[in-house]
Each structure stands twice: as C-alpha cells, then as structure tokens.
Structure 1
Amino acid sequence: MIDRHDYSPWDFWSTASENSRRAQRSWQDRLERDHPTWAIGDDCFVSQIAAVDADELVLGDRSYIAASAYITGVVRIGADCSINPSAVVRGDVVLGDGVRMGALSSVLGFNHSMEPGTPVFRQPLTSRGIRIGDDVWIGSHVVVLDGVTVGASAVLAAGAVVTKDVAPGAVVGGNPARLLRWRVPPAEGAIEATGSSAPAGLRERLTRFADRARADAPDLLARSLDSATGLFTDRPGTRPTVRAHGDAIEIADLLLGSPPPGVDAAELVTRLRGWQDAATGAVPPLDAPDIPGWDDGDTAYHVLSTGYALDLLGAAFPHPIGLIVDATPTSIIERLNALPWDSDPWNAGHHVDALGTALLWTRRRGDAAAPGIAEALVGWLLTRADPASGMWGRPSPDRGLLLLVNGFYRASRGTFAQHGIPLSYPDAVIDTTLRHARDDRWFAAAQLDACNVLDVAHPLWLTRTSGYRSAEVAAVATRLLDDILGQWQAGAGMSFRLADADPGLQGTEMWLAIVWYLADLLGHSVALGYRPRGVHRPEPAPLS
C-alpha cells in the first residue's frame, strides 16, 4: 500500500504511525542484509517503491529517497539530503551534506560513447563522475551531466542543464546553465602584484621552506646513515635499503648540490654499481636471498632510484638491463597486456615506469635492443588510453579514482614525460585529476601522503600548457601548498604521510619534488632555489 510518506517523506519520523516506523526499519535492515555494500544511516527513509539498484550506496543520517527515485552505480549521499520523487541519480556520484534534489531531476555520472559505425546501445559506457558539495539546492527538472563538480552552497535553478562545473555559492540556470547571480559572493583573495594566480605571501613562504630544508639537509641525511654499516636507512631504526640510498643522493643533490656529506662519492658509486646483477641487469633488494624477477615491485623501482642516483653522481649502470635488451616488441606487448590494468592500475603503471626508464638507460649505454621496442611500448599506451579519462584502467568501487590516477602518474612519468612525448588526451587527464583531488578520503589535510599528492601534482604540471581549467588547477595547487609548507620537522625532514611523526628520506625527497611542481604551477618555483634533476625531474631526460 502506498503511503503519503512515499512521496512526502520529510516528516516521516515525526508523523508516521509506529507500525509504519517499524516497517521502515525492517525494510532498511533487509536492504542492508541483501546488499553488503550499502550503508544506511540513522533516521533515514527509503521508499519501498523507489528503484534503488546501486552497486554501492551510502545514505547519510536523516536523508531520504522518495517514491519512484532511480539510483544506480556507486552513490555516496551525505547527511540531511533529499532525493525527491522521480529523481534519478546514476553512475559515480557523491553528494555532500544538506543537498536537496527536486522532483524529476537527474544527476548522471556516466555517459555513452558515440563513435560512428556502432549503434549507441552497443557502445561502451564511460564515467568521469559527479561531485556535489554541501548545502546545494537542485531544483526540479534539473539535469547534471557527467564530469561536473558543483561547489558548496550553489543553487541549480529549475530546468537547468548543467554541463560545466559550478562555482561555490553560484546560482545557475538555463540550457546550458550559466551564472545568474551569487547566493554567496566569492571572496576576493589577495593577488600578488605580479598577476600570478598565487596568493600574496606565497613566494616568501616557499623561500622560507627551501631555506629551512637546505639548513637541515646535513642533519636529516646524517640521521639516516647507519654508523655500523655505512649504509642509508629511510629513518633511524629501520633496515638499510637500496631506495634509501637513491633518496639520500637525490636530497643532497637537490638541496646541497653535492653527494651526501660524510660519504665518499667514489665509494658510493662503487657500491651502487656493485648491487646490479650482471646476468639480468636487475638491482635486487638488499635482503633478497636471490635475484627476483622483474615482477618484483622493489626490483622494478630500483631501475629508477638506482639509475638516477648513479646519474646524479656522474656514473651509470655497469651492465645492460635485461628488462629491455632481452625483450622483443611482441614480449613488450604481452607484458603490457598481462598487467592488472582493470584491478590495480597503480601496480600496472609502476611496471610501465620501470620499462620506460630501462629504455632510457639502454639508450644511454648504447646497448643493442630489438627494433620496435619503444614503438611497442609507447604505441600500446597511445592506443589504449581511455578518451574519457585520458588514463589507463578504470576506477575501483572502494577507492574511486585513486589507483587510476596514481597509475597514470607512474606510467606517464616513465614514458611520455621522461621521453618527451605528448599525451593523447591532456584535457581529459586534467578533468580526471581535478575530480580525484576533490576526494577527501585522500586529500583532506589530515589524509595527505606523498604518493597521492605527487600523483596529482605531476599530471597537472605535465598538462599545464593546454591552459584548460587553469584557475581550478591553481586553486588545487594553492590549497595543497597551504597544507604542506608547515609540515617540515626540524632536523629530520618530512613524513611520507604528513599526519605521522616519522620523517624519513622517502617522504622528504618526494615532498620536496611535490612542492616544486605545485609552486611551478603557480609561477613561483624560482623562489625555492632548487629544481629536481633525478627521478622527479620535470624535463625529458637527455639521451647522453
């Protein structure tokens, strides 16, 4: 039996009979039992005649879904939200708190491809996702299309067709939607006299950050040098690693313009070269009982960290790298096809990074490699990039765009960036990266770690010349720098995860590079007085 609360649920818990309340609680319990990926908060209402068929659903406290609403995909709805009668929410959609969605409106976080020659119904779906901030009013008959972000306190007037991002506090209407007026006028931030998009005082803060880092560099390097073995550890109390040596060399080069103090450079070169296996060209972990295959994550990364450490010391690998010299174009394509692009694009990108860097060192050494290796590697990436995201792989239900964006950074760093090759879809990369940077699971100030932030900063820098959404890119760079610049720990550097109190070489090296990229996006990297030259170098690596 249809109850008036199915269509007018806002006063259900204050006016419904006890029997109706009991039935609603039982209904929600059943929904959560039948759908392990659903979570329904307290004092919610879900009409039994709503079509809720989501792969994942989060419904915040005191939110409701009215009759004939249609919900599919991966949908996260905050507290005090309303999905009114016959509203549609589909795809990758996140609503903040206090979002009120009028009847017959649609928020569509996916789209059909439309390449000619194939009927639309046979075309694959694409999804860039929709993010709607807190306290947003969506009038009736509104349509919000895939890829849009709506800022907090905005209003989407009845009948609006929203195809582009809506600024916080804006009131928009029409088809396509345009600014009508301001509900909350934008603050006038102080802008430097240079005309850059950076806020006033940023240049001085960057200079202070870099000066402090240079002053502390000898101490933070010394604290990670194990006096018993003469080897570098990431931080005191941990075991020596190959990567720690690369990080130490990069930090010293960046801040001091020299090898690490107190370490003989010639002995350091001999040690690094001696760690390379002559038969395979691999540098295994220091504690490995034998030589791991190239699928080992540490061994793959040592192509980067050891190769660039030697390069900064004016040396090179003594042996060819089998990852490239033993390969053929066919085996490269087979390796790329076998990587876990759909389930773990970060891991896939990690191994592409090693392939691209091994190709660099092979060219530098002049080692013979099968013709067509580079074409197979880059050609596969060019033809497999998703036009909707600009990236390789797909989002995951539990972590959203995290692995996709992080994998893109690794894959593009080792190939397109390192070898100076243009990307296929730079604007799509910007869209995807900006959308990811709004996910508070990874980018709230208390959640920042060096991997996630670098993997946003570098793609935005790599695509900066397009000028696409440049104001939003600048806003992201400014926000992240605000969260980062005060996190240096005296004499010790920076923690990989900013909220942790365990600074080490890896976190310090990565954050130094991140600060440079973000500052350069704002036109102020010169204030730092350094520029990365190793793994995180911005320019393509020279071939000689």
Structure 2
Amino acid sequence: MSARWDFSPWLFGSEAGPDDVARQAERHAELRARADHALGESVYIAESANVDTDALALGAHTTVAAGAYLTGDLRFGEHCTVNAYTVVRGRVAAGDGVRIGAHTSILGFNHTMSDPDLPVHRQPLETQGIDIGDDVWIGSHVVVLDGVTVGDQAVLAAGAVVTKDVPAGAIVGGNPAKLIRWRVPPRAGTASPLGARLAAYADRARDQAGDVLARAWDAARGLFADAPGDAPTVRAQCDAVEVADVLLGSAPPQTPRDEVVARLRGWQDPATGLVGALDAGGVPRQPAGFDDPDAAYHVLSVGYALDLLGSGFAAPLRMVTETTPERLTALLDGLPWRGGAWHAGHFADAIGTALHWSRRRGDAIPAGVEEAFFGWLLRRVSPWTGMWGEPGDADGVLQIVNGFYRASRGSFAQFSVPLPYPDRVVDTVLRHAEDERFFSAGALNACNVLDVAHPLWLARRSGYRSGEIAVVAERLLDHALGAWNDGAGHGFRVGWPARTARDATPGLQGTEMWLSIVWLLADLLGASGELGYTPRGVHRPVRAG
C-alpha cells in the first residue's frame, strides 16, 4: 500500500521513518547506477512511479508522485514537481520551479504517418522535443505535444491542449490552447531582445535606403519603377517619396523636390481631379472615372506623396466637391459589399481621402456630403463583426477584414473618429489571423498583414484581448523583421518558397508597406520607439493633419 507522501511528496521529509528513508535511498542508488542518470539532493520518487528512462536528470528537491510514468530523455531542474499519474515521455527538458498537475501528459515524441500504406504502429517515431522554461505552472489534465517550447513564468491552464509555442509570461488554455491573459506582460525597450532587434532593423533599412531607391530608378525615363525591369507607375513615384521620407527624412535624391512636386501635380486631370495610370511612355492616361481602381488609389498615393513634399493637389477632387448626399449614398450602396468588400472598401477609402484633401485645399464641400459618408458607414456596419459586408464562402473573413482596413483607414482613422464596435473588430481580426491559408509562414503578404495590423492597432484602446493581440503581433513581426533583403528592401510577399515569384521580388511597394507594418506591430507591443521613425504617408498610424 502506498504511503500518503507518494501523493503528497512534500510530507516525506517530516513524516518518513528510517525504513522509508532507506527504501528511497535504494531507489536513488538503483537509478544513479544507470548510465546518464543523475539525481540531486532531497529528490523524492514515489515507489509506484514507473521510471523507465534512457536518460534522467532531476535537480535538487524535485519530486515524482505516485503512478507517474517517465520514459525517454528527461531533464528537470530544481524544485520541480511531477504530480500523480502524470506521463512525461520522449525528449523533455524543464527548468527550475516547474510544477506539473496530476493526469497531465507531456509527450516529446510522435508517430509518423508519411506512408499511407503502412499501419501507424509500424511507422517510425520522430522526436523534436519539448522545452519548458523556469517557474512554469502546468495544470491538471494538460496535454503538451512534441515540438512545443514553453517560456519562463508561463501558465498552462487545466485541460489545455498545447500544440504551439507559449510565450514567456503567458497564461494559455483551451483546445487548442490560446492566450487568455498575461501572468507577466511582455516588456519592450532598448534592453529587451525585441527592442534591440527593432533598432537593428531600422538602422539597416536607413543605411540601405539609398541603394533601395537607386535600384528602382529608371534613369532612361527619369522615373521610378517598383523593381528593376518593371515599367514606371504612378504608385512607384509615390512609394519612392514615402520610403525616402521615412528612412532619409527627405525627398528621393534622384530628382529635386520641386521637380517631383511639379510632375505629380501636373499629372492630375483638371476636369475630374483624378490621376490616371501611366501609359508605356510614362504619360498618365485620361482616368476612366471614379470607378477606375488605379485613379481611386492615386487619390491616396499622390495626395500623401505631395503632402510629404509640402504640397498638395492642384485641382479640386470633383468626386466629392461636385456630388450630393443622395448621389454619394447611392454610390456607396452600389459598391460590392457582398462578396467583394475589399474592392468596396478601396473606393470608400478614396472617398474619405478626397474629403480630407478637399478640406485641406479649402474647397467647398456640398452640405451634408461628409455627414452622408460617415452616416452610411455607421448605419451599415455589422454589430456582430464590427465591419462592412458579408464573409465569402471560399476565403473566410478575408474580404471583410481587408475591406474594413481600407474603409476605416479613409474614414475613422484618417479623421480620428472612434470605431462603432472596436471589440467586435478585434474578435473578427483575431479569428482571421488564425486562418493558415493567409497567415502560415509561406503565405504572408503585405496586404493581408497590414489589414490585420492596422485594425488591431486602431481598436487597441479598450485593452480588449490585448494578450492575444500581442501574441499575433509578435508572430507577424518576427516574419517581417527577417524578410529585409540587403540593398533591395522588402518584397510584397514574405516567405514565399519560389523566390522568383513576382510578388516576392523586393520593390518599392513591398518596402513602403512593410516599413509601416513593422511600426504598427511594434507599437502594439509597446516598442515602436526603438525604430526611430513613424510612417507619415498612406499607411500613417495617426490622424492626418
């Protein structure tokens, strides 16, 4: 019959008699006699614990309770507890002060399933191992799977199924385990690894900004292209202005500032106020109208490039100065919010930005137009998602999240107006960020990551689900910081296996967007000050001046 200290090992030192102490010493001697087995001072191992290990290290004052099952290569620090009926197998390394509740399974190995014609029991095992930091509390009935790292001072709540790494200081729970809150919130600053990494990234980008711009300069045409071999575009001229502003604090060195201003202002069509796409000769085409996607985006890109250069549009933006509340409402009603929310948000962004530039120019905006714009957005926003439009069947909530970024950027963000349902925005965006079709390491692109980072940043003030937001931000920031290409900047896509893929090629668009994304993600972690820059263009994080 087991002694009660088999289930309460802390009682052994005060209640065990000489015979019990002698039996425990014999158990220690038997284990120490095995190769690669070491036990520290005052270790206790219950007689009913099954210890069938290939290698074992138990630090001083560590205990193993009744019914525990230990196999493989196990290393525990000091003052750890393996409570009753816990299973620890495979390769597992734990630090000091790790407390493991009863009936928990920590499995540092797995079956392979690569051959569908071979039964699982005949296929080889694989081991990545599990690493657990110091001062970690693992509740009862927890399952930790192979390949997981658990950071210092983390807590795994009872019943959690842990399939992914757990950050230091995090409290996780559920199946699969997700962040609940922080036991110890992340600390950022110049002394932190994150702060040092951000500072190094920004220094590298600033040092190489001249090379990035020179690489995209088409000297024969006197214009910027997105990347070498591409045709010049309006957006490339504007992206060059933004990259130079954020990294150099000046206009691009290839052309005097006044010439850039004159060119951008001269490209505006005075009849509509829009800027069309460039033809093969580098001359802007006549914009097809407001429903021209290029012309709609140029309201943003040209307007902000001119703003950074200390100038502005030469002619009124007649899409808002010559409309009525009724016509504007009808236009918004006609956008494809069902199934095409990104496309609809694209034009809503242009409307809001046209209102902004018209204010700045001092142009007369017809009575009720601004009220109609914001009123439509407030009336049509979903109280369940915090967004506009409806999710599609094929791509989850991708369309509404991307459409929300565009529509909210040109309205609530640009004019510093509070969001109507910020907590629902967070819920929807965090749900989207779990979709591995768009957020696995090989599928990230600047559009999708920006359209997650900015809404989370915009809705952050309430503190709602802040711990989960920090985990997403940290994960995405890690990919972004590692994606800079020396002398060339960022590609639009990060981690794409085919490095020859066009959207993985470094260029001005990817560089401008990822610089802004890095700032937003760093700011969500309280560390943006380490970058030494704040974007001031299209993807600026603060109200437009």
The TM-score normalised by the length of structure 1 is 0.66
TM-superposed deviation, 1:483: 1.3
Matching residue of 2:168 = 189
* Residue in structure 2 matched with residue 341 of structure 1 by the alignment: 337
2:525 corresponds, among 515, 522, 532, to: 522
Task: Read off the aligned partner of 1:259 and give its amino acid letter.
Answer: A
Residue deviations 1:334-357, cap 9 Å, x none?
000000000200000000000000
Map of 1:510 onto structure 2: 513
Three-state SS of the structure 2 residue aligned to 1:286 is coil
CA drift of 1:291 comes to 2.5
Q: Which residue of 2 aligns with 1:534?
A: 537
Matched with 2:86 is none
1:180 is displaced (CA, Å) by: 3.9
Q: Deviations over 1:221-265 (max 9, x none)?
A: 011110101101100100110000110000000000000012110
Q: Aligned runs of 1:246-285 on 2, under 5 Å?
A: 246-285=238-277
Q: Deviations over 1:136-164 (max 9, x none)?
A: xxxxxxxxxxxxxxxx9699xxxxxxxxx
- What is the CA distance between 1:276 and its match in structure 2? 0.2
Structure 2 CA distance for aligned equivalents of residues 188 and 537 of structure 1: 29
Contact 1:198–1:478 (Cα < 8 Å) also in 2:
no
Q: What SS is found at the alignment partner of 1:302?
A: helix
Aligned equivalent of 2:481: 485
% same residue: 57
Which residue of 214, 228, 232 maps to 1:240? 232
Q: Which residue pairs with 2:450 in the alignment? A: 454
Q: Shift of the alpha carbon at 1:308?
A: 0.3
Cα 1:187/1:441, change in 2 over 3 Å? closer
Q: Render the CA deviation track for 1:162-192: whole Å, top value 9, x for unaligned.
A: xxxxxx996xxxxxxxx54556598562799
1-structure distance, mates of 2:258, 2:161: 65
Letter in 1 for 2:204: R
Structure 2 unaligned residues grouped into runs of 5+: 1-110, 112-141, 146-153, 171-181
Structure 1 contact 169–182 (Cα < 8 Å) conserved: no
Q: What are the Cα deviations for residues 288-346 of structure 1, in whole angstroms up to 9, with x where unaligned? A: 64321110111000000000000000001010001111111111100000000002000
Alignment of 1:139-218 (within 5 A): 180-182=158-160, 187=166, 189=168, 196=186, 200-218=192-210
- The aligned amino acid for 1:431 is D
Cα 1:342–1:480 change in 2 (3 A) is: same
TM-score, length of structure 2 as denominator length:
0.65
Aligned pairs for 1:28-177 (under 5 A) are none
| Match of residue 397 from structure 2 | 401
Contact 1:169 1:183 in 2 (8 A): no
Pick aligned residue for 1:221 from 209, 213, 222: 213
2:291 is aligned with 1:301: no
Question: Against the structure 1 CA distance between its residues 210 and 504, is the aligned structure 2 distance closer, same or farther, given a 3 Å change threshold?
Answer: same
**Compared with structure 1, are the counterparts of its residues 182 and 339 closer, same or farther at alpha carbon in structure 2 (3 Å cutoff)?**
closer
Distance 2:523 2:225 in 1: 30
Letter in 2 for 1:504: G
Pairs aligned (count): 372
CA–CA distance in structure 1, aligned partners of residues 338 and 522 of structure 2: 33
Aligned partners of 2:299, 2:535: CA distance in 1, in Å? 18
Mapped partners of 2:304, 2:293: distance in 1: 17
SS at match of 1:446: coil
Are 1:354 and 2:333 an aligned pair?
Answer: no
Unaligned 5+ segments in structure 1 are 1-97, 99-151, 156-167, 171-178
8 A Cα contact 1:197 1:471, kept in partner? no
Question: Once the 2 structures are TM-superposed, how far is the Cα of residue 196 of structure 1 from its aligned partner?
Answer: 3.5
Higher CA-based Rg: 2
